[in-house]
């Protein structure tokens, strides 16, 4: 009896302690309830399980049936469009007899910003008849990634592929060994150019950088991102940028090896149990299955907390989520977010809300992807974690990612390195049968361009159309699917010619391609 009373008291004391701990936790550990940084959101705001925002559409998607004809069309390769890769110059390239000096650039941003910066650096070196020092990568302020050029890209291939176009060295010669990132960080230096305007012309570089090269033999340009125009450049300079982007930059062997292992496992996965297939009549299941055998689609799910907060849209997490994102937005950008001035309805009507995992799942289902689709998720970190992915997984139970397809040992070389992880995803994406990105951005643009260059199927979501459809709470699944299919007929990789001021890294034709 005494033991029982003691046990009950002990249990009560434990309960009281637990309650007190939860109440006092914000007092003693306030950082747990606030944004910890751009890459580390509030711990407890991530625990909010979002409610499905489109319940009726979700029910329709789970009961969907897709015809064999739609599956055949969906998985068929993109038809030849009359364009082919074309990066060689009409006349043989040649190096200048004497270099005008050494060019250094310091690049920031993630993988795809770095790639664009490298291409532009090669082009600037060519414009100035200079020798390019292999670009230096700044430590990424968002992901704290210290990966160097040589950690990501095959440096020897890079130098060899461009040997007839531009002279490239791994380090400046000993006479210029003082010209380091640390040197430029400690004071104003005559050899540093920090005034390069956004989209500077070739003439600007000739007028402002060439004199520095002639005076000192070396010039360091920082910042450098987006510092070369897309307009009014000689065709050979444009084609050189294309050659660097699509042929000069390949990933280091261990990235390719890991990517190849993931691709093999996606293409040769065991066949799903027939009992798990619910969205086709039995007589159609085998026919549809043959359409998909050995094929997979890559989904780039760009839905991290930065994206969610900056968009200022409602993502179904209720009042708590809205408050957490608003606070995060205020801490990071001090209210300087234009989207926060608009209502959720206005933003969705303008197509300015990134698609949630639930919404991209509904889009994929409407396009004709069934629950046997092998879906590879290319993403760094999803805001809301597993709870946010639950609906997408329900629609596509065969969804995989790096962690599910590769062992801990295989991932060891890329663990904690955002650029290397992105490189693996990029490599897998380039080898997928179909690629789709949930929201526009650098990764989306780079892959849309690269896959257009290779004539590979790439689905571009119509953000404006989806914004209107998702706001219509009375729309039926049949109406939704019909609108999706009709609105995406010409958004599956069709060549789009670059217009003035548009990026050559998003629209490779006609600068990087020729009529066949």
pTM value is 0.87
- pLDDT tens, position by position, 17-54: 544 443 444 444 444 444 333 333 444 445 556 788 99
CA distance 263 to 406: 11
- Dihedral class, residue 451 (left if φ above 0, else alpha if ψ from -120 to 50, else beta): alpha
pLDDT (0 to 100) of residue 27: 45
- Encoded tokens for 153: 């890209």
**What integer pLDDT is reported at residue 13 of this predicted model?**
55
Can you tell me the distance from the alpha carbon of 258 to that of 264, in angstroms, rounded to the nearest whole number? 10
Residue 449 confidence (pLDDT) above 60: yes
Mean pLDDT across 217-246: 96
- The DSSP bridge partners found for residue 399 are 375
Give 132's strand partners: 103, 168
Q: Where are the alpha helices (DSSP H) in 435-503?
A: 442-453, 463-471, 477-487
User: How many whole angstroms separate alpha carbon 335 and alpha carbon 310?
Assistant: 10
Is 406's pLDDT higher than 80? yes
Supply the pLDDT for residue 81: 96
Between 134 and 380, whose confidence is greater?
A: 134
Q: What percentage of residues in the chain have a pLDDT greater than 90?
A: 68
Q: What is the pLDDT of residue 285?
A: 58
Asked whether the predicted pLDDT for residue 219 surpasses 50, the reply is: yes
List the chain domain ranges: 55-76+254-269+294-439+458-492, 102-250
Query: Between 197 and 274, where is the model more confident?
Result: 197
The pLDDT, as a whole number, for residue 25 is 44
Per-chain mean pLDDT for the chain: 87
Asked: is 102-250 a CATH 3.10.110 domain? The reply is no
Condensed to tens digits (0 to 9), the pLDDT of residues 82-133 reads: 999 998 877 777 788 899 999 999 999 899 999 999 999 999 999 999 999 9
Question: Can you tell me the mean pLDDT for 153-172?
Answer: 97
Task: Tell me the C-alpha distance between 452 and 475, whole Å.
Answer: 34
Q: State the pLDDT confidence band at 288, using cuts at 50, 70 and 90.
A: low
């Amino acid at each position: 009896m005494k033991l029982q009373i003691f046990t009950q008291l002990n249990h009560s004391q434990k309960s009281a302690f637990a309650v007190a701990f939860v109440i006092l936790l914000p007092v003693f550990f306030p950082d747990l309830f606030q944004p910890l940084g751009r890459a580390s959101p509030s711990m407890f705001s991530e625990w909010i399980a979002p409610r499905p925002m489109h319940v009726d559409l979700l029910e329709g998607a789970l009961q969907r049936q897709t015809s064999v004809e739609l599956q055949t069309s969906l998985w068929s390769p993109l038809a030849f469009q009359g364009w082919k890769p074309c990066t060689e110059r009409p006349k043989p390239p040649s190096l200048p007899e004497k270099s005008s000096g050494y060019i250094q650039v310091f690049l920031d941003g993630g993988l795809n910003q770095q790639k664009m910066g490298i291409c532009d650096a090669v082009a600037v070196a060519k414009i100035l008849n200079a020798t390019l020092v292999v670009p230096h990568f700044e430590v990424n302020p968002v992901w704290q990634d210290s990966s160097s050029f040589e950690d990501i890209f095959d440096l020897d291939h890079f130098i060899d592929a461009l040997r007839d176009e531009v002279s490239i060295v791994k380090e400046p010669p000993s006479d210029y060994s003082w010209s380091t990132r640390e040197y430029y960080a400690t004071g104003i230096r005559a050899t540093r150019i920090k005034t390069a305007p956004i989209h500077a012309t070739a003439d600007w570089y000739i007028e402002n950088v060439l004199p520095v090269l002639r005076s000192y033999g070396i010039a360091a340009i920082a910042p450098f991102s987006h510092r070369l125009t897309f307009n009014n450049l000689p065709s050979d300079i444009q084609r050189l940028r294309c050659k660097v982007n699509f042929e000069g930059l390949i990933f280091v062997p261990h990235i390719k090896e890991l990517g190849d292992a993931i691709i093999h496992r996606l293409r040769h996965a065991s066949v799903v149990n027939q009992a798990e297939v619910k969205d086709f009549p039995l007589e159609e299941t085998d026919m549809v299955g043959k359409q998909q055998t050995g094929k997979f689609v890559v989904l780039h799910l760009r839905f991290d907390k930065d994206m969610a907060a900056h968009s200022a849209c409602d993502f179904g997490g209720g009042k708590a989520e809205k408050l957490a994102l608003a606070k995060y937005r205020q801490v990071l950008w001090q209210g300087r977010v234009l989207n926060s001035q608009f209502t959720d309805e206005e933003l969705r009507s303008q197509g300015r809300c990134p698609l949630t995992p639930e919404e991209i799942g509904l889009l994929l289902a409407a396009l004709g992807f069934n629950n046997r689709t092998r879906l590879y998720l290319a993403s760094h970190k999803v805001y809301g974690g597993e709870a946010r992915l639950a609906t997408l997984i329900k629609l596509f139970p065969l969804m995989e990612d790096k962690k599910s397809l590769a062992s801990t040992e295989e991932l060891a070389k890329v663990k904690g390195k955002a650029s290397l992880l992105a490189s693996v995803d990029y490599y897998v994406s380039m080898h997928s049968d179909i690629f789709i990105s949930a929201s526009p951005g650098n990764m989306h643009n780079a892959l849309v361009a690269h896959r257009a260059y290779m004539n590979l199927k790439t689905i571009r979501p119509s953000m404006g159309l989806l914004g209107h459809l998702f706001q219509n709470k009375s729309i039926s699944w049949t109406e939704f699917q019909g609108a999706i299919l009709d609105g995406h007929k010409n958004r599956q990789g069709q060549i789009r010619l670059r217009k003035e001021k548009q990026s050559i890294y998003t629209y490779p034709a006609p600068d990087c391609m020729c009529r066949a």
